[in-house]
Structure 1
Amino acid sequence: MPKVEKMDLDSSLKETITYESQMLHYGLYTAGYQRVFQADIPWHWHDEFELGYISGGSVVYQTSGLTVTLHEGDGIFINSGVLHYLHPLEPCREARLQTQFFDKSFLAGSLGSLLDIKYVAPVLDQRQLEAVPLYRSDPESKGFLECLQKGVELCSRKEEFFELRLRNLFSELWESIYRWAAQKESSTPSLRRSIEDDRIKQMMRYVQAHFSEKISVSSIAASIPISERECYRLFQNSMGITPIEYLISVRLQNAQSLLMNTNKSILDIALETGFGSSSYFGKIFRSHHRLTPAQYRNLSRQKALAAP
C-alpha cells in the first residue's frame, strides 16, 4: 500500500531530502514510495532541484510568482531554494507524484568546478526562474517528460552503469533548464530578492512555531522585526496571500494530520491547532474543503482501508 508521506521539515521550513547513497546526490520518490497525499503539502523549500511528474490525480502547485494546475502526465521543474506549496485538486482524492531531486554536485561534481560555474550556478542564481510547468499536451514539453520517465526507469531497475546513464540523461535535461534561465529576464535585483526570501522564511518559521497560540499580524511582523504593512506586502508578493490566510493554512494542515492520524475529538483538535472552538474550526474547514472535519476523517479512513 502506498504510504502517506510525512515531510521532514526543519524549523526554517527546509525539507531534508534523503539520498539512498550519499555518494550519489539524487533522490527518487516513486513506485512503492510514491508521494501519496490527501492533505496539502505545506509551504517549504529545499536546496535540491526538483522535477515532479503527476502519475495520478491532479495537483495545484504554487510559488510566489506562479500558480498552476497539473494533471496526470504533466510535470514541473522547481528551482533550488524556491518556496512552494502543493494542493490536491479534489477533497480526499489521492494524488500521486513521481519526484526526482538532485543537487548541483550530481551534475557538476565539486563546488567551483567548470561545470558548476558555467552551467549550474547561472540557473541557481536566476531567482526569477522559480518553476516551469510541463504539460503533456505541449509538443515542446513531451520529450522532456519522456526523459523524466526514463530517469524513473533507470533508477528503479538499477542495472549496470545506471548511475552514468542517469547523470547523462539529466545533463541533457539540464540544457533545457539552462535555456529557461537564460531567457528569463530579472526584474528584481538578486540581493533584494534574497533579503525578501529570508524575511518571509523567518516569518513562516515563527507561524509554524506558534500557530496553536493567539498570534496576530503585529506579532508575526515583530518576529523580524518589520512593519505590519511590510509584512502584508511580503506575504502578498511571495505567496499571494495575507499573513492571516497563511496562519489559517498552517492550522488547517495540522488539523488534517490530526484528523487522519489520531482519534482526538474535533474540539480537542480545534483547541490544539489554535482555532479556539469546534464551531469556528468547522466553519473554516468547510469553507476550504467542502467537508466537515468529521466527514474528512471518515473519508480519509475509508480511502486508507480501500487502498491495495
Structure 2
Amino acid sequence: MGLEILSDLSEILPYPIPDFPLYAGIGKLANQNQYTVGCHFHPDFEFNLVLEGVMDYFINGENVHLGTGDGIFVNSQRLHYNYSRELTPCKYLVITVSPSLLPKELPAVEQLMASKTTPECSDYVLLKKDSNKPVLSLYPKILHEIQTGNPNVFLTLSYVLALCGAVVPMIQSDAHGDIHDAKWLSLYDMTKYIHTHYQSNVTLSDIAAAGKVCRSRCCQIFTRYMGQSPIDYLIFYRLKKSQELLLNTDCSIGEVASRCGFSGQSYYSQMFRRFFGVTPRMYRK
C-alpha cells in the first residue's frame, strides 16, 4: 500500500479507482520490518483482517492483539499503526473507506455517521473470527472487486454498505475514553517531530523535548507503545523514507543517505541491512 504521511501525521490514501474513495489491498509484516508505517491518522474508516500470523494495533494509546482470522475496525481520525510485536511474519487484508463514499444526502445516514465518529466514541471495534464471521466474510469480496481493475461499482458499494452497516452500530457513542491521555499525546508530538525533522541531526533530547518529557520517560513511552527505542524508530522512519527515494529517484546511495538524515553511506547501508535484510543497492534492483 503506497502511503504518504504528512508532517502533521495525517495520511494520504491511494484510491485505485478515480472518484471512488475506497482502497483494498494486501499488506505484509516481515521479520526484518516490524512496523508498516509510523503513527498516522486519516478521516477514512479502516478495516483489517489478519490472513496469516499475528499482528498488533496501536490505536489512540491502546494496544490490541489480533490472531489469524481476527479483524478490526478503526474509527475515523484515530492515531494508529499496525505492527508485529513478536517480530514474526504477518499477512493481512486492509480496506479503507472514505466517509464521502457513504450516501450522506440521506439525513439519517449523515446524523448516524456524525454521532459515531466523535472523539467520545469507540476508537475501534475488535472483530473476532469465531463471533463475527458474516462481517469478516465481506472483506475478501471487496478485495476481489478492487483487484479486478474494473470492479462492479454497485456490487462493491453494496459490500461496503453491508460492512459499515454491520460495524458502525457496534461503535459506542459514549465510550468516554481518555482522549487526552498524556502518554499517547506525548507520543503523538514526539513521532510528529521525528517525521518533520528526520533529515536533520535529531537527538534523544530533541525527541523528548518535543513530547515535554525527560529522556528516560521518552524511552519508556516508545518502548511501551512502539516496541522499540525512540532512536530505533527514528532510524526506521529514515529508512522508510529512503526506500521511496531508492525506488522513485536516480539519486546515488550516498545522496539518499544524506537526504534521509544519515551521517554516511556506510552506516546507512549497515542500518538498511539490519532492518530489511538486504542492502540499499539490492533493494533498488
Q: Does the pair score TM above 0.5?
A: yes
For residues 274 and 127 of structure 2, what CA distance do their matches in structure 1 show? 28
1:52 is paired with a residue whose SS is strand
Query: For 1:1-308, what aligned pairs fall within 5 Å after superposition?
Result: 5-17=1-13, 27-29=22-24, 41-43=36-38, 44-53=40-49, 60=55, 62-63=57-58, 64-66=61-63, 75-80=71-76, 81-85=78-82, 97-103=93-99, 106=102, 115-116=112-113, 120-121=116-117, 125-126=120-121, 129-130=123-124, 132=126, 138-151=129-142, 156-159=151-154, 163=157, 166-175=160-169, 177-178=170-171, 190-193=178-181, 195-297=182-284, 301=285
Unaligned runs of 5+ in 2: none
Counterpart contact for 1:65–1:239, Cα < 8 Å: no
Displacement of 1:294 in angstroms is 2.3
For residues 47 and 76 of structure 1, what CA distance do their matches in structure 2 show? 16
For residues 262 and 37 of structure 1, what CA distance do their matches in structure 2 show? 25
Counterpart contact for 1:36–1:96, Cα < 8 Å: yes
For residues 144 and 74 of structure 1, what CA distance do their matches in structure 2 show? 11
Displacement of 1:215 in angstroms is 1.1
Unaligned runs of 5+ in 1: 302-308
For residues 266 and 69 of structure 1, what CA distance do their matches in structure 2 show? 37
Aligned residues: 270
For residues 18 and 254 of structure 1, what CA distance do their matches in structure 2 show? 17
Counterpart contact for 2:48–2:92, Cα < 8 Å: no
Displacement of 1:291 in angstroms is 2.0
For residues 112 and 99 of structure 1, what CA distance do their matches in structure 2 show? 21
Q: Structure 1 residues 288, 257: closer, same or farther in 2, change over 3 A?
A: same
Q: Structure 1 residues 16, 287: closer, same or farther in 2, change over 3 A?
A: closer
Cα offsets for 1:262-308 (capped at 9, x unmatched):
333332222222221222222222221222222222xxx4xxxxxxx
For residues 289 and 167 of structure 1, what CA distance do their matches in structure 2 show? 38
Displacement of 1:244 in angstroms is 1.0
Cα offsets for 1:239-267 (capped at 9, x unmatched):
23321121111111112222233333332
Displacement of 1:157 in angstroms is 0.9
For residues 10 and 232 of structure 2, what CA distance do their matches in structure 1 show? 21
Q: What's the TM-score, normalizing by structure 1?
A: 0.66
Displacement of 1:146 in angstroms is 0.9
Higher helix share: 1
Counterpart contact for 2:14–2:23, Cα < 8 Å: no
For residues 48 and 239 of structure 1, what CA distance do their matches in structure 2 show? 23
For residues 111 and 247 of structure 2, what CA distance do their matches in structure 1 show? 49
For residues 246 and 257 of structure 1, what CA distance do their matches in structure 2 show? 17
Cα offsets for 1:17-60 (capped at 9, x unmatched):
477788x8x52335xxx7799986411222322013468x8785
For residues 144 and 27 of structure 2, what CA distance do their matches in structure 1 show? 17
1:219 is paired with a residue whose SS is helix
Q: What's the TM-score, normalizing by structure 2?
A: 0.71
Counterpart contact for 1:47–1:103, Cα < 8 Å: yes
Counterpart contact for 1:212–1:272, Cα < 8 Å: yes
Amino acid in structure 1 at the alignment position of 2:23:
L
Alpha carbon RMSD of aligned pairs, Å? 4.2
Counterpart contact for 1:53–1:75, Cα < 8 Å: yes
